[in-house]
Structure 1
């Protein structure tokens, strides 16, 4: 998303709409709308999203009333890479210098400032992830909200450096790479937060379970196109019994087979919406993502999205 090609009078409002739609609803003001500029790029790393942001000076807030109306229940971890910015939440205010990190949550009111004077722009890297992704209790992670942490040394430097590397080479990664990088990043986030909470020794068992789940998810994403992908094959690839694999998924929303089917359907849906693939037959799309039975694919697609694949493609042209 970039405001550069928009009329000057629309830039700030369009950026605010983008933030409210993709992050959480907020209210914001800008003292110099005529010079306002924003550029935001997003990497989808599975359960984690990484956005690169450059924003002119502005300030805003998320109120309790907004939270009651809409709450994605997400954590945001910001690495401030240029300029100064600030976050207030839970009675604390963090003022960020370049390379500082700060955490906040969409379920609590917060106030933000990008650029601490009218002529200062700020740039940053924003991680967005659900609290359920972490093997640390939500209430404990919230204790870290609106606290500035250094990204110039120790594990903060490791995390911020990894994010900078990712953001500078976004075109170098394939879909399978993104899944694996999401797994690595989740482990880094966990290690960073655990370090701040001094809880490294108390999360190892749950962290191990989460880490294994994420590795399995990355494996599934990397092999979705293989029609032979199955729970038994996944278990064998990870040196565990089929029973252990199913037990690992007991706390997840889907079974192993259900997760494979859901991701395959989503990949097919994306291909059907891609103008560059408008000429590809629906049968070829189904086979491309591992469906052996095209009739079964059409039934599953309709059950999930409310239309058969042909009608879905035509509806969204």
Structure 2
């Protein structure tokens, strides 16, 4: 979805003195049905009102943050633009040096602040969250949990893209978010090498796409963010097996994940595949706060939930999704799904 590169337009008087993004100037014409795209800037706003004006724009689009200009900066300037694609909000932010901070606050019932992936395009920042701190140079990314306190300090004029998504869209990967906040991820290796160019092009060009294309790409973007969270949790915080028992449990969990789609998967088959008795298998999982049967069902439900929220799979019936992940009976699938998520599969699909 790369867009043609053009020469940058001259900088209008009063705009943010951040180096322009080469080739990205005026927003292209949007196709019919495209997402609502808006832009708020400080041009034309009295200097004494600019910070609060821009803060209100950020609070309404990203999170209830406080904006603090860098000490000595008396001529604050900034712009924020973007819109929604499916369940994802895509934002572009440019400003002079500042700090964005969020303090502890109650989250209103029914509100899902979720995480936001910050892609640092220009400038250097530092991030602090969950007792960790990291430097975020241009080309790197950081994940913020918008429901918990954080501070993002921009030390120079900057440009960043923000990808905000509801926590529930991440499925089981959401449980790993607290382990990867407050860290900088390179945008040139692993999942980051796939995610960063895709997310930046989405943030810039989503408004030019037809609605069904935009929603399908948004689903792919969510999957890439979930993959990044899983990858970084494994690299940064995963506990290495230290005993023979823990190593065997890890192998069994991996075996279950690999064979989730097989409706014949059962504790007896898992035990047989690892050359142990069924009783030994149950003893192994006594310290895992679950049973093998519950683990299989939980993982199947999580994968069904992930597939149901993908717009690209909207044409598949709910019973087909359940069968695809090993549920032979539609009624059993619906009951099991409700026991985990508190709603039916059809209600889940409609809400995402």
Q: State if a TM-score over 0.5 links the two structures.
A: yes
Q: Tell me what 1:6 maps to.
A: 44
> Over residues 212-237 of structure 1, what are the superposed CA-to-partner deviations in whole Å (9 max), with x where a residue is unaligned?
1123x4555xx8xxxxxxxxx84588
CA contact (8 A) 1:24 1:72 kept: no
**Pair 253,218 (structure 1): closer, same or farther in 2 beyond 3 Å:** farther
Deviation of the 1:135 alpha carbon: 3.0
> Over residues 263-295 of structure 1, what are the superposed CA-to-partner deviations in whole Å (9 max), with x where a residue is unaligned?
9xxxxxxxxxxxxxxxxxxxxxxxxxxxxxxxx
Q: Which piece of structure 1 moves more, 18-27 or 84-93?
A: 18-27
Deviation of the 1:159 alpha carbon: 0.6
**Pair 242,190 (structure 1): closer, same or farther in 2 beyond 3 Å:** same
Match of 1:124 among 160, 165, 171: 160
Q: Output the CA distance in 1 between the equivalents of 2:62 and 2:54.
A: 11
Match of 1:38 among 46, 70, 78: 78
CA contact (8 A) 1:12 1:33 kept: no
**Pair 4,185 (structure 1): closer, same or farther in 2 beyond 3 Å:** same
> Over residues 155-203 of structure 1, what are the superposed CA-to-partner deviations in whole Å (9 max), with x where a residue is unaligned?
1111101112212322331111122112111111111111112279587
Match of 1:101 among 133, 141, 159: 141
Q: Tell me what 2:330 maps to.
A: 243
Using the size of structure 1 for normalisation, the TM-score is 0.65
> Over residues 46-84 of structure 1, what are the superposed CA-to-partner deviations in whole Å (9 max), with x where a residue is unaligned?
2222212212211142222xx137675321111111111
**Pair 49,60 (structure 1): closer, same or farther in 2 beyond 3 Å:** closer
Residues 1:68 and 2:106 are matched in the alignment: yes
Q: Tell me what 1:89 maps to.
A: 129
Q: Output the CA distance in 2 between the equivalents of 1:28 and 1:85.
A: 14
Using the size of structure 2 for normalisation, the TM-score is 0.59
Deviation of the 1:259 alpha carbon: 6.2
**Pair 166,140 (structure 1): closer, same or farther in 2 beyond 3 Å:** closer
Q: Output the CA distance in 2 between the equivalents of 1:248 and 1:23.
A: 34
**Pair 246,5 (structure 1): closer, same or farther in 2 beyond 3 Å:** farther
Q: Which piece of structure 1 moves more, 165-174 or 141-150?
A: 165-174
**Pair 56,210 (structure 1): closer, same or farther in 2 beyond 3 Å:** farther
**Pair 8,253 (structure 1): closer, same or farther in 2 beyond 3 Å:** farther
**Pair 213,129 (structure 1): closer, same or farther in 2 beyond 3 Å:** same
Q: Output the CA distance in 2 between the equivalents of 1:141 and 1:203.
A: 20
What RMSD, in angstroms, separates the aligned Cα atoms of the two structures? 3.4
Deviation of the 1:12 alpha carbon: 1.7
CA contact (8 A) 1:209 1:248 kept: no
**Pair 184,246 (structure 1): closer, same or farther in 2 beyond 3 Å:** same
Unaligned runs of 5+ in 1: 224-232, 264-317
> Over residues 107-161 of structure 1, what are the superposed CA-to-partner deviations in whole Å (9 max), with x where a residue is unaligned?
32111212x1xxx311111111222222336453201111011012221111101
Q: Output the CA distance in 1 between the equivalents of 2:231 and 2:194.
A: 12
**Pair 4,208 (structure 1): closer, same or farther in 2 beyond 3 Å:** same
Q: Output the CA distance in 1 between the equivalents of 2:46 and 2:100.
A: 20
Q: Output the CA distance in 2 between the equivalents of 1:39 and 1:155.
A: 29
**Pair 158,38 (structure 1): closer, same or farther in 2 beyond 3 Å:** same
How many residues align structurally?
A: 244
Match of 1:211 among 296, 306, 320: 306
CA contact (8 A) 2:63 2:113 kept: no
Higher relative CO (Cα under 8 Å, sequence separation at least 6) belongs to: 2
Q: Output the CA distance in 1 between the equivalents of 2:142 and 2:193.
A: 13
Q: Output the CA distance in 1 between the equivalents of 2:203 and 2:134.
A: 24
